[in-house]
Structure 1
């Protein structure tokens, strides 16, 4: 009997000890808060959608066609090719002309001619790389790039993953691709449709309050401006998503939610709240431009390729070039530019100096060394208040 009592006492002691071991510990409950559905950008009036962003896709088509059919594969080998490409640029489709849409905001009207000349210079460079005007354009196009000599970069001309570069190693097709995202899409989002001239306009607010719809449509002019900004943001969306970049964590979510909230606030004419959402979009999207450019300059893939074989970093660095160019169209929460046209050109000239992207030794130098990728990234970060440490995590 005593033995049984001892065993019972030991069991009781162990159970008490087990109960007290967790004292002052935080225990996670199995209950979890319900996950709320993500908001959607859908708005209607009288049972029909009041959102129309067709303009955005109509304009995107000729822009993408110029890149895919002519620039990326250096296919401007004949005068006919050149005429077709330039017609697409000047005349577009569905009445939307890329050339007319570049840098149209009041913020960039003074630099518009210079910006148009920059795009023409990239088209001309692509034509030279294609062999336009040469006796045998195909032979010229099919020549492998060397330091100081334009051509293709890749295993061989039949490689699917090749790019065509100028004598400095700059892939002008990639520059065009990202520069136009700034000169048209970013300019329209931040400097046209979400500008103070629109969101603070007494005329547009009054028409919106009275539900004066645009002729033949189901939206007010103020709503349509906001919708177009959202539509053009769709082309920046992939760059705003973090994809392993801590510096962009939740950027897309904040931008998207601000678009949804701002459009929702229009239903009750809460203009102060709408302005706050526009400010958030300006801040976040401008940060996306800087972070992406800096990441392409000093990212692990760029440095690994540069060290092993400089040519294989040219595509990434050319994308960075295009984004640096695009950064002049960014605006802070107060609507002021982070960087001017002249400052942008100066930064790009440091990238192209000497042998350009072929100059591996210069590009890989430390942050203190002007002309290095780290120095260039730091210069961008300083203007956009993004530290190099955030990018190199």
Structure 2
């Protein structure tokens, strides 16, 4: 305590000295305030870590394999390949089955069957692009995409940086990749592990207050829910990076600090503070999904590609499609979705209508023009409280 008093006195003395040097005279002090280290998400009990997020990685592994092995390269041209992809989706690994983890929160259960049908349709479309059912599947797969015809988009089929699109120009693999970011990861973060069903649950709180650990583990049920929310957020972390977007400035930092603070407050059972941190995470992640979708739709990079070489914008617009789909799993401070399943489908029809992504003139229309990318981005922003100007770098 004496040490703290001496430091305080020293700082006060420095301030007094600076003030008495003379009117309107700037004095630079040699004293530099210490730079505090960034917090880390590390918590322990009895000398051992109390954080376990292995479930998140175990679930992500088959999801990523489906994308990289089958959908991204359109390798579902035989019944065997198609069956393997579906089996991986349905059975997964380590007992975690991707299909069973989609839209499992109480907030999304009413739409779950429709959401599962959407994923099924993306698998079937990917198989069609791959040539499944064709006499010569790989010849079908290797065709260059044209308006109304599936195929690859790129310089040639040997390119590493190519994508495979459907008749509308939509890269279904990218849709799957980003849609699942919402249907599993975002739903689990916001609507399962940080939900009121957990944080406000009297039994969960009581067990935490009594330090009742889960059988065979070093954490309470409340701690584990929070840790799993953080583990699934790690898959969103790269998307949350601002990359020059004003609307996302400091967003990753605020989200991370809220996760650390919330877990720290559990040590003293400060439940009101924990709920405030959860609210911050919800707010910030809602902005992340909206801003990223808007930037992919109407950002300078997308519009420039669409003007000069329309097909080069197909991957970006397909990612936007997936993020728009994912946005239905975000929720506001009142616990309601920012956008419903039906509203999401209606917005996506903007990209699918007529010639889809091949309709360059329609997509490049002004913000007031229905069917334009700017109009679609503005509609998303309106629901999430983000202005189109905020995505300008």
Rounded Cα–Cα distance in structure 1 between residues aligned with 2:247 and 2:126: 34
Q: Secondary structure at the match of 1:152?
A: strand
Distance 1:208 1:358, change over 3 A: same
Measured after TM superposition, the shift of residue 246 of structure 1 is: 1.5
Distance 1:293-1:29 versus aligned 2 partners, 3 A rule: farther
Partner of 1:368: 368
> 1:137 aligns to what?
137
Gap change, CA 1:27 and 1:316, over 3 Å in 2:
farther
How far the C-alpha of 1:244 sits from its partner, in A, is: 1.5
Deviation of the 1:333 alpha carbon: 2.2
Matched, 1:260 2:260: yes
2:163–2:315 contact (8 Å) kept in structure 1: yes
Paired residues of 2:153 and 2:162 also in contact (CA < 8 A) = yes
Over alpha carbons, which structure has the higher Rg? 1
Q: Distance in 1 between matches of 2:311 and 2:94?
A: 39
**Quick check: 1:90–1:97 contact (8 Å CA) kept in 2?**
yes
1:41 matched residue in structure 2: 41
| Cα distance between partner residues in 1 of 2:323 and 2:64 | 17
2:340 and 2:318 map into 1 onto residues whose CA distance is 20
Aligned twin of 2:230: 230
SS at match of 2:73: coil
- Classify the secondary structure of the residue corresponding to 1:68: helix
TM-score normalised per structure 1? 0.93
| TM-score normalized by the length of structure 2 | 0.93
Task: Tell me, in whole angstroms, the C-alpha distance in 2 between the residues paired with 1:362 and 1:291.
Answer: 22
Q: Quick one: distance in 1 between partners of 2:327 and 2:306? A: 24
Q: How far apart in 2 are the matches of 1:302 and 1:101? A: 32
Residue 116 (1) aligns with residue 89 (2): no
Once residues 391 and 242 of structure 1 are traced to their aligned partners in structure 2, the CA distance between those partners, rounded to angstroms, is 10
Q: Deviations over 1:210-264 (max 9, x none)?
A: 1111011010001000000000000000011112212101000000000000000
Give the Cα–Cα distance (whole angstroms) in 1 for the partners of residues 35 and 239 of structure 2: 26
CA contact (8 A) 2:289 2:323 kept: yes
Aligned to 1:288: 288
Alpha-carbon offset, residue 31 of structure 1:
4.3
Give the deviation of 1:33 after TM superposition. 2.4
Question: Partner residue of 2:203?
Answer: 203
What secondary structure, in the 3-state scheme, does the structure 2 residue paired with 1:164 have?
A: strand
CA distance in 1, matches of 2:304, 2:122: 28
State the alpha-carbon separation in 1 of the partners of residues 46 and 92 from structure 2: 34
Would you say 1:57 and 2:60 are equivalent positions? no
Distance across 2 between alignment mates of 1:166 and 1:25: 69
Deviation for aligned residue 1:25: 6.3
What is the 5 A alignment of 1:66-81? 66-81=66-81
Asked if the contact 1:279–1:334 (Cα under 8 Å) also holds between the matched residues in 2, the reply is no
Q: Does 1:83 align with 2:70?
A: no
Match of 1:248 in 2: 248
Aligned to 1:192: 192
Whole-angstrom CA distance in 2 between matches of 1:274 and 1:90: 35
Residues 249-281 of structure 1: per-residue CA shift (max 9 Å, x gap): 100000000000000000000000000000000
Q: Quote the residue 1:270 is aligned against.
A: 270
The residue aligned with 2:334 is: 334
Q: Residue by residue, what CA displacement relative to the aligned partner does 1:43-87 show, whole Å, maximum 9, x if unpaired?
A: 111111100000000000000000000000000011110111000
Aligned: 1:357 with 2:357:
yes
Cα 1:208/1:304, change in 2 over 3 Å: same
Asked whether the equivalents of residues 245 and 392 of structure 2 are also in contact (C-alpha less than 8 Å), the reply is: no
| Per-residue Cα deviation, 1:4-36 (whole angstroms, up to 9, x for no partner) | xxxxxxxxxxxxxxxxxx973656556432211
Structure 2 spans left out of the alignment, 5+ residues: 1-21
CA distance in 2 between counterparts of 1:26 and 1:219 reads 54
Contact persistence 1:298–1:392 (CA under 8 A): no
Q: Which runs of 4+ in 1 moved over 2 A?
A: 22-33
| CA–CA separation in structure 1 for the residues paired with 2:26 and 2:303 | 44
The secondary structure found in structure 1 opposite 2:152 is strand
Aligned to 1:298: 298
- 1:184-230 per-position Cα deviation (integer Å, ceiling 9, x unaligned): 00000000000000000001000000111101101000100000000
- For 1:88 and 1:35, locate their aligned partners in 2 and report how far apart those are by CA, in whole Å: 48
Secondary structure in structure 1 of the residue aligned to 2:217: coil
Cα RMSD for the two superposed structures: 1.1
Is the Cα–Cα contact under 8 Å of residues 168 and 358 in structure 1 kept in the other structure?
Answer: yes
Asked if 1 retains the 8 angstrom alpha-carbon contact of 2:170 and 2:318, the reply is: yes
Q: Which residue of 1 aligns with 2:152?
A: 152
Q: Distance in 1 between matches of 2:26 and 2:166?
A: 62
By how many angstroms is 1:295 displaced?
0.5
